[in-house]
Amino acid sequence: MLFSSISFMYYFLAAVLILYFAVPFKFKNLVLLVSSLFFYFYGEPIYTLLMLATTLSSYIHGLLIDRFRGRTLSKVFLWSSVITSLGALGFFKYSDFFIHNINNVTGSDISLLGLALPIGISFYTFQTMSYTIDVYRGDAKVQKSFVRLATYVALFPQLIAGPIVRYTTVEEDLSQRTHSFEKFSSGVTRFVIGLSKKVLIADTLGTLARTMHASDEASVVGYWLYAIAVSLQLYFDFSGYSDMAIGLGRIFGFRFLENFNYPFISKSIGEFWRRWHMSLGTWFRDYVYIPMGGNRVSVPRWLLNTLTVWFLTGFWHGADWTFILWGLYFALFLVLEKFWLNKFFAKIPRVFSHIYVCVLILISFVLFNANGMSGAIADIGSMFGAGGLPFWTSETGYYLGGYAVVLACAIFGATPALKTLVLKLKEHKTANMVLNVLEPIFVVGMLLIVTAYFVDGSFSPFLYFRF
């Protein structure tokens, strides 16, 4: 079931809200759990059992880790939980990748399994792992209620495309959380903003990207236009989903951490990844990078740590060499920044470091979106005129003009300029009063526009569903 659909907004969500606020607090988690299981079952009937099995495994392992705390068995059960979770993820997501590569290297003819990827498995696997690891570390108390732990794992606002919500973030909210009209209204506003970003901007840019990529009159400028459209589409699609998840969380009394912080204003690749998909970056930092020694090690070991984390970051996104190369691409520039580029850019105007980041990011997302390695080489080569591609065609000019307004809105919306303006206006009493009146009108207006798109069928699934 898609957030961006009539069935979710006006049937499922409406019914859940009515039931949730009608029952006493002691039943609210149960309502969310049953609703979330139905939400997942609607799209993944069989794989609902896999998610429940993963949750049950984490629940039992958490109890055993706590029961034998301070003993060798505690660590044994920790590793058992990690291996079980990663085993399920590896089997369903990466089996065919490994079989395909084994066949290529050895010349064998092992049949591919052809398994469908369970939606959201990359996200809920990392959530269950963070729970058992934090219980082992003593950063979280073991959860003795299966309903509460299952609610945390299955919570439908963030179940299928993140952000990766850690158990420690919502530990208190699972047992005691407050509800208010202020939280509800701010949650609705955040949800509608995210929905609008996805439907009105991301989906429109997706149409532009597909059109430019399939063009019979391709050009260098057209491929850069494609790169811009793909990059902004990914940003507004995924950040839009994160906004919706955060908004729904507020409505139900949960506090999810931010997942994006205007990454395109970054002046370095390191800064970009502190602003982009922050829940994933901090997960790898806290559960892989720091346990390996982080940056408090020798240079060779730091290089190994960095390459390992970014190899895994790329591989987490998908079972294809393009994703692995995408992760190592960022590792390369992070290494260059540490030893040379940051010092270089510190001596010149900041605009040049910003241009450097934007160019690298555009290239990276062309690689990210490519159809295999051959497609990646062809697409990136076309951005630089490979194969005698013309610099400009009339078709490029036509689509650039036709999508100019959407592109301008997307570029402006990817900066904090509008947010900064609104916050400054709210410092003045009169302006704040006007904004308080206009905000609900804006929210209702955007909701009506988006609903019109739903009725017309002009929307598509979230890109991160495939991860």
DSSP assignment of 307-345, as one string? Answer: HHHHHHHHHHH-SSHHHHHHHHHHHHHHHHIIIIIHHHH
pLDDT digits (tens, 9 = 90+) for 72-117: 999 999 999 999 999 999 999 999 999 999 999 998 889 999 998 9
What six digits make up the tokens of 294? Answer: 């982080």
Q: What is the mean pLDDT of residues 197-225?
A: 92
Q: Tell me the C-alpha distance between 56 and 70, whole Å.
A: 23
Q: Which amino acid is at 226?
A: Y
Question: DSSP 3-state assignment of 194?
Answer: helix
Sorted by sequence, the CB contacts under 8 Å of residue 314 that are 6+ apart come out as 323, 324, 325, 326, 327, 328
Whether 95 contacts 86, CB under 8 Å: no
Nearest of 199, 139, 253, 153 to residue 8 by alpha carbon? 199
Q: Is the pLDDT of residue 165 over 80?
A: yes
What are the φ/ψ torsions at residue 298 (nearest 5 degrees)?
A: -65, 160
Whether the ω angle into residue 163 lies within 30 degrees of 0, i.e. cis, is yes
Whole-number Cα distances in Å, 70 to 75, 144, 368: 9, 19, 44
Residues contacting 395, CB < 8 A, separation 6+:
215, 216, 217, 219, 222
pLDDT exceeds cutoff 90 at 64: yes
Say if residue 300 is preceded by a cis peptide, omega within 30 of 0. no
- pLDDT, mean of residues 51-57: 95
User: How far is CA 6 from its chain centroid?
Assistant: 23
- Per-residue pLDDT averaged across 267-295, rounded? 95
pLDDT in tens, 4-53: 788 888 899 999 999 999 999 999 999 999 999 999 998 888 999 999 99
Cβ–Cβ under 8 Å, residues 323 and 315:
yes
DSSP result, 400-417: HHHTHHHHHHHHHHTSSH
Q: Do the beta carbons of residue 207 and residue 130 sit within 8 Å?
A: no
Question: If you write DSSP's letter for every residue of 228-269 in order, what string do you get?
Answer: HHHHHHHHHHHHHHHHHHHHHHHHTT--PPP----GGG-SSH
The DSSP secondary-structure symbol of 69 reads: T
The band of 121, judged by pLDDT with boundaries at 50, 70 and 90, is: very high
- Note the pLDDT of residue 5: 82
Backbone angles phi, psi at 460, to 5 degrees: -140, 165
Mean pLDDT value across residues 139-160: 93
* CA–CA gap between residue 354 and residue 358 (Å, rounded): 6
Burial class (CB in 10 A: 0-12, 13-18, 19+), 161: buried
Residue 328: which residues within 8 A CB-CB, separation 6 or more? Answer: 307, 310, 311, 314
* Rounded (10°) angle between helices 429-456 and 417-425: 140
As annotated, the active-site residues are 317
The 10 Å CB-count burial string (b at 16+, else e) for 45-72 is eebbebbeebbebbbbbbbbbbeeeeee
- The residue ranges of DSSP E strands in 156-221, in sequence order, are none
Cβ neighbours, 10 Å, residue 275: 18
Q: In 3-state terms, what secondary structure has residue 442?
A: helix
Q: Please tell me the predicted confidence (pLDDT) of residue 467.
A: 52
Q: Where are the domains of the chain?
A: 6-177, 183-260+385-466
Distance CA 313, CA 324 (A): 8
- Cα distances from 390 to residues 125, 217, 394, 399, 402, in angstroms, run 46, 9, 11, 16, 21
Q: In this predicted structure, what is the pLDDT of residue 215? A: 86
Over residues 376-392, the mean pLDDT reads 92
- Position 458 pLDDT exceeds 60: no
d(CA 384, CA 386): 6
Single-letter amino acid, residue 217: E
Q: Is-contact 39 1, C-beta < 8 A?
A: yes
Q: Residue with structure tokens 């009608």?
A: 22
What is the reported pTM? 0.92
- C-alpha 173/C-alpha 179 separation (Å) is 11
Residue carrying structure tokens 């290494």: 335
pLDDT single digits (tens) 184-193: 999 999 999 9
What pLDDT, on the 0 to 100 scale, is given for residue 161? 78
